[in-house]
Amino acid sequence: MSDFLFQLLLTFDATLRVAAPLILCGMAGIFSERSGVIDIGLEGKMLAGAFAAAAAAVMTGSPWLGLFAAIGVSVCLSLLHGFACITHRGNQVISGLAINILASALTVTIGIALFKRGGNTPSLEQDMRFRPIEWPLAETLESVPLLGPIYSGVISGHNLLVYVALLAVPLSAWLLFRTSFGLRIRAVGESPEAVDSAGISVYVLRYKAVILAGILCGIAGAYLSIAHGGGFGREMSAGKGYIALAAVIFGKWRPVPTLMACLLFGFLDAATARLQGVELPIIGEAPTELMLALPYILTVVLLAGFIGKATPPKNIGEPYPKGK
């Protein structure tokens, strides 16, 4: 039994690692979509951020400069998204799709030009990465039954950006629901006319929201390439942005439920990796393919209204015509 518990703790530990970028992108998606701007481009921004982080870390040797580069690049893509669909009132889905395709193509193209390694960056040295942080007394407390292993195995020993991701949730919740800025963001996604007639600029608010989304996606990208991984690999975001989008819907555009959805999807992913080819009692070989598809299937079922109802912000996807 203790072996089972040990395995479970390892899986929870892996869950946090897998879920961290999902959580960051999920919060990004919440800000953007709450303000009325659909963000299919989470994936592309994260991928571009991952590349920028690794490239900057390799060139400068500093993970912090890598992180800033990731945020900078990702915010640039956010501004492009804003330029296309806030300023020019273009279709938000098309703009997001273009960003994803551009990110996937540009990272490889620039990667080959800079490093000549088929689109990957060189592997990073240890000091170019965000290293795991051992919490105080982690080793001494390990012998405490139950709580000890949880403290030292699950909570302690992650890199800085995992904790940033976890902190981003209460911060986002506070910002969205406890500040006037958050109130305005939510209002502009529900009824931009009301915000406009109160004398507040719809455009500026939406730009602020997509920039916030850019920052968060940039951190997620840096997490992939210079914290969790040790370098950039082509297409390394591998659909995580879309899973985060699913998590946002699953969490009904609210930070804490979105966190839960990210943890659930992360757990499925972590458990799949562990259960590959394992024979389980009763069901036989673990249905790993089904587990991989489960986030997508669950999201469709939720969207269909069979488990609760996911109501998006009312004005989502609608460009706001100025001066109407």
Number of residues that bind other proteins (CB under 8 A): 46
Q: State the nearest-atom distance from the C-beta of 304 to other proteins, in Å.
A: 5
Q: Does 137 bind other proteins (CB under 8 A)?
A: no
Token couple for 180: 């006037």
Residue selected from 20, 27, 67, 84 as contacting other proteins according to rule CB under 8 A: 84
14 C-beta neighbours (distance < 10 Å), count: 18
Length of the chain: 324
User: What is the biggest distance separating any 2 CA atoms in the chain, rounded to whole angstroms?
Assistant: 67
Q: State the nearest-atom distance from the C-beta of 77 to other proteins, in Å.
A: 11
Token couple for 205: 């608010």
Q: What is the 3-state secondary structure (H, E, C) of 196-230?
A: HHCCCCHHHHHHHHHHHHHHHHHHHHHHHHHHHCC
- Residue 22 vs residues 18, 222, 231, 245, 252: alpha-carbon distances, Å: 7, 13, 19, 9, 15
- Residue 276 vs residues 189, 268, 280, 289, 296: alpha-carbon distances, Å: 43, 12, 11, 9, 19
Token couple for 5: 């518990």
Pairing of strands 132-133, 284-285: unpaired
CA–centroid distance for 76 within its chain: 17
Find the part of the chain contacting other proteins (CB under 8 A) among 91-99, 171-179, 197-205, 223-231: 91-99
Residues 235-264, interacting with other proteins (CB under 8 A): 239, 242, 245-246, 249
Q: State the nearest-atom distance from the C-beta of 213 to other proteins, in Å.
A: 17
Q: State the nearest-atom distance from the C-beta of 290 to other proteins, in Å.
A: 8
Q: State the nearest-atom distance from the C-beta of 108 to other proteins, in Å.
A: 4
| Cα–Cα distance, 230 to 131 (Å, whole number) | 10
Q: Which is nearer to other proteins, 116 or 197 (CB)?
A: 116
Q: Which is nearer to other proteins, 34 or 129 (CB)?
A: 34
Q: Does 276 bind other proteins (CB under 8 A)?
A: no
Find the part of the chain contacting other proteins (CB under 8 A) among 64-72, 146-154, 186-194, 294-302: 294-302
Q: Which residues bind other proteins (CB under 8 A)?
A: 38, 40, 80, 83-85, 88, 90-95, 97-102, 104-106, 108-110, 112-113, 116, 119, 239, 242, 245-246, 249, 289-290, 292-293, 296-297, 299-300, 303-305, 312
